[in-house]
Structure 1
Amino acid sequence: MHSNHLLLEEPIRMASILESSKSTFFPAMSRIVGTLGINSQSVETISACLKAGMSVARFDFSWGDAEFHQKTLENLKIAIKSTKKLCAVMLDTVGPELQVVNKSERPVSLQEETLVVLTPDQDKEATSNLLPINFSGLSKVVTKGDTIFIGQYLFTGSETTSVWLEVTEVNGEEVVCLIKNSATLSGPLYTLHVSQIRIDLPTLTDKDKEVISTWGVRNNIDFLSLSYTRHAEDVRHAREFLSKLGDLNQTQIFAKIENVEGLNHFDEILQEADGIILSRGNLGIDLPPEKVFLFQKAAVYKCNMAGKPAVVTRVVDSMTDNLRPTRAEATDVANAILDGSDAILLGAETLRGLYPVETISIVGKICAEVTPFSYCCKEI
């Protein structure tokens, strides 16, 4: 008997997988946005990041003061001159972000199955059973059974550095929660996210306006990343504010979609914005994990059809502490580009990660490897 051979059209030769990576005729068509900060502030490190493939530097004002970010930007300018690599500047707003404030900066250990109280009294010290927050209205919007998530800088999801809470009681302005997993919170600020609850704060806060009109104008920023964009009106308001500043009327606004409210108004937001950032860290809290990929694929497709850049975040979280990404992460980067993403945004990995340069380099290599293959896919 003759065995039946299944003939497959090969979009890429299997043998090429074993070839060493090298610069090809196809340059990487996607861009890498690197967040500069604690572990990526020196001229030497920034220069290496530029050489590795970073073409947009992101300055996240959720932490650090204007003086710190100005020092980083001055170092970026020196690095640009020495490397002769162009790099745009993106200012990332804080927006209506809820934060746990730890003035002492001492690590706070939280024990599973114990209670912790969230209080709007920021004068109190953060302890294992009391966490001060920057929002007095939390008790008005949560009810018993609601889920609250607390983590350091855009949620790593690590069970040791982030914590799930379940609301058990609302007592005046204080919210009592049951701790669902043991964790240690370290540093002065942690982000707090309440799943699928609308926070009644302006998207462009007074603090954001002050930073944009001072630091942003002084440095003639190229992009404004509008955190927690929930409606098209948020983008229109931001654009109106920029136009009044004069110097920033050419600044592009990238709407950051971070919750269900932004997802529900995605089409209108896309019409108004210059680009979209899919903030998968926060979306992964608001949406069930199995739904995040559906939104990503739909949103990237819509951005492609509208001719507007789509930026994907949270791709190589493990490289915050490790020299290599997981296989799943490497594949995730490639699939994001194959789906039509125009840029990869690196947050904690380059901000406070141990290997900012290596992270940019590896993500860049994956993007370059994908580029010719994406052309093949489009032709088939």
Structure 2
Amino acid sequence: MHSSPLLLEEPIRISSILEPSKPTFFPAMTKIVGTLGQKSREVDTISRCLNAGMSVARFDFSWGDPEYHQATMDNLKAAIKSTKKLCAVMLDTVGPELLVNKTDRPISLQADTLVVLTPDQNKEATSNLLPVNFSGLSKAVKKGDTIFIGQYLFTGNETTSVWLEVSEVHGDDVTCLIKNSATLAGSLYTLHVSQIRIDLPTLTDNDKEVISTWGVRNNIDFLSLSYTRHAEDIRHARDFLSKLGNMKQTQIFAKIENIEVNFKILSILLGLKHFDEILREADGLIFSRGNLGIDLPPEKVFLFQKAAIYKCNMIGKPAVVTRSDAILLGAETLRGLYPVETIATVGKICAEVRAAIKVKASVIICFTSSGRAARLIAKYRPTMPVLSVVIPQLKTNQLRWTFTGAFEARQSLIVRGLFPMLADPRHPAESKSATNESILKVALDHGKAYGIIKPHDRVVVCQKVGDSSVVKIIELED
């Protein structure tokens, strides 16, 4: 009697789960966006984050001044140089975020007592009074409304976050009943009122100042537009960037986290026009699930997430959220004690998903100048990684000559399954076949260093020769 192949396969599958991941295992298709800050800003820590799999560094301007973030940026540049790892930079705007104005001194809030929220930011924060940065709060809420205050919304840690119920509105002040005892220990606390409209611009004057100084100086690759509510928000931001010279190439990611989009999100499966307009205008989307979990019933968040990511995949734009193009780590790397270990663990989880798929070709190598060809291939979610060889283009504005390509390579670092490298500008890929072969050899060596190409692997190569596109399959020797 022949034994069933299924019975033989099961123990092998179980043993592979029990075995630790091999250190040479090639990187995950999903990218990791790490937020740099208090616990992750030294050169050594950032270097280890890069080696562990971080491909985009996020700078959150909800806290810290530009000088603080510049010192972190300088450390990132040093880490990139020492590790020889490509890393993109994302500037996350503050936007119309409601913040509690307080110092680092812990403030204890007792359940069943009252606390007053006031727009007078000259007053000191105490257990009975919390200054906030929004003068329109008293006009936006009514008796019985729920207000949440916490570090990075929806932390689930009830000792550092608090739920309030509005009991009285008097002038500009809002008196609330504290629903659970908590201690506000850190300096950054966000205030969230479910289902109200915040009458503040998406791109604030403070955001514009940071972008036009810090952003321009550091040649940022991505702008994360917090609290995006309408397609017009993105058009306004893009118009602002277009006037800043080198910021024209910066991609804008719409961060979806507030109720104006969320109510419409519930009908996304019915062909949501509002969401589709945002998706059309943005270069990619970021889903802030913590905020969504406050505005929407928690069980609805994953339904929205699946539908929204499906739409992003269909249109071929990156979606930054769990199990998509990129996973964004906020507090985990910003103030968590184990930023490097977190990135490494998430990377292993993503890689193990990839390990379950057996492929005939180990990698697709795509020669491209704008990055579009490689993105198009990645859009169709091939089971193997795509190595994007970006060929710099020499351009002039009649005043000076510049090479393009660096932006295009770095901006691929947020796209699932895409691993970019920048070719030597002295050897354009469209020239002699010998030059093509030398660039291909460099690309293959790059793939070996990444761990995505091994001896005897089959490799699919896509390149442009003159006006024609050529696809060839090569089998590697030892």
Q: Indicate the TM-score class for this superposition, using the shorter chain for normalisation.
A: 0.7 to 0.9
CA distances 1:142-186 after superposition (whole Å, capped 9, x unpaired): 011111000123442210000000111101100011111100001
2:340 to 344, 357, 379: 357
Aligned to 1:297: 306
Q: CA deviation at 1:26?
A: 5.4
Amino acid at match of 1:32: I
Aligned to 2:202: 203
In 2, are the aligned partners of 1:92 and 1:226 still within 8 Å (CA)?
yes
Cα separation, partners in 2 of 1:23 and 1:48, compared to 1, 3 Å: closer
CA distances 1:334-361 after superposition (whole Å, capped 9, x unpaired): xx42xxx100000001011111111111
Cα separation, partners in 2 of 1:107 and 1:297, compared to 1, 3 Å: same
Tell me if 1:280 matches 2:263: no
Amino acid at match of 1:182: S
Q: CA deviation at 1:23?
A: 5.3
Q: Distance in 1 between matches of 2:285 and 2:146?
A: 27
Q: CA deviation at 1:91?
A: 0.1
Q: Distance in 1 between matches of 2:356 and 2:244?
A: 44
Show the 5 A alignment for 1:1-380. Answer: 13-22=13-22, 27-103=27-103, 105-263=104-262, 264=264, 265-312=274-321, 336-337=322-323, 341-373=324-356
Aligned to 1:332: none
User: Alignment RMSD, CA only?
Assistant: 2.2
Q: Aligned residues: percent identity?
A: 80
Q: Distance in 1 between matches of 2:127 and 2:25?
A: 56
Farther-moved stretch of structure 1 (15-24 vs 150-159): 15-24
Aligned residue for 1:357, secondary structure, equals helix
Amino acid at match of 2:155: T
Q: Distance in 2 between matches of 1:83 and 1:154?
A: 34
Cα separation, partners in 2 of 1:43 and 1:303, compared to 1, 3 Å: same
Q: Give unpaired runs (5+ residues) of structure 2.
A: 265-273, 360-380, 384-478
Farther-moved stretch of structure 1 (113-122 vs 20-29): 20-29
Q: Distance in 2 between matches of 1:143 and 1:154?
A: 22
Q: CA deviation at 1:128?
A: 0.7
Aligned residue for 1:94, secondary structure, equals coil
Q: Give unpaired runs (5+ residues) of structure 1.
A: 313-335
Aligned to 1:321: none
CA distances 1:284-327 after superposition (whole Å, capped 9, x unpaired): 11111111111111111111001000111xxxxxxxxxxxxxxx
Q: CA deviation at 1:368?
A: 0.8
Aligned to 1:326: none
Provide the TM-score with structure 1 as the length reference: 0.87
CA distances 1:252-295 after superposition (whole Å, capped 9, x unpaired): 00100002312323211111100000101111111111111111
In 2, are the aligned partners of 1:228 and 1:262 still within 8 Å (CA)?
no
Q: Distance in 1 between matches of 2:7 and 2:279?
A: 39
Cα separation, partners in 2 of 1:276 and 1:182, compared to 1, 3 Å: same
Aligned residue for 1:228, secondary structure, equals coil
Q: Distance in 1 between matches of 2:186 and 2:318?
A: 34
Q: Distance in 1 between matches of 2:154 and 2:125?
A: 19
Aligned to 2:393: none
Aligned residue for 1:344, secondary structure, equals strand
Cα separation, partners in 2 of 1:25 and 1:121, compared to 1, 3 Å: closer
Cα separation, partners in 2 of 1:254 and 1:366, compared to 1, 3 Å: same
CA distances 1:234-266 after superposition (whole Å, capped 9, x unpaired): 111111111111210000001000023123232
Q: Distance in 1 between matches of 2:161 and 2:327?
A: 24
Cα separation, partners in 2 of 1:228 and 1:370, compared to 1, 3 Å: same
Aligned to 2:453: none
Q: CA deviation at 1:16?
A: 2.1
Farther-moved stretch of structure 1 (111-120 vs 154-163): 154-163
Q: Distance in 2 between matches of 1:167 and 1:224?
A: 35
Q: CA deviation at 1:25?
A: 6.8
Q: CA deviation at 1:370?
A: 1.1
Aligned residue for 1:100, secondary structure, equals strand
Cα separation, partners in 2 of 1:151 and 1:255, compared to 1, 3 Å: same
Amino acid at match of 1:14: I
Provide the TM-score with structure 2 as the length reference: 0.70
Q: Distance in 1 between matches of 2:288 and 2:62?
A: 15
Cα separation, partners in 2 of 1:165 and 1:14, compared to 1, 3 Å: same
Cα separation, partners in 2 of 1:374 and 1:300, compared to 1, 3 Å: farther
Larger Rg belongs to: 2
Amino acid at match of 1:100: V
In 2, are the aligned partners of 1:154 and 1:348 still within 8 Å (CA)?
no
Aligned residue for 1:247, secondary structure, equals helix
Amino acid at match of 2:37: G
**Which has the bigger relative contact order, CA under 8 A and spacing at least 6?**
1
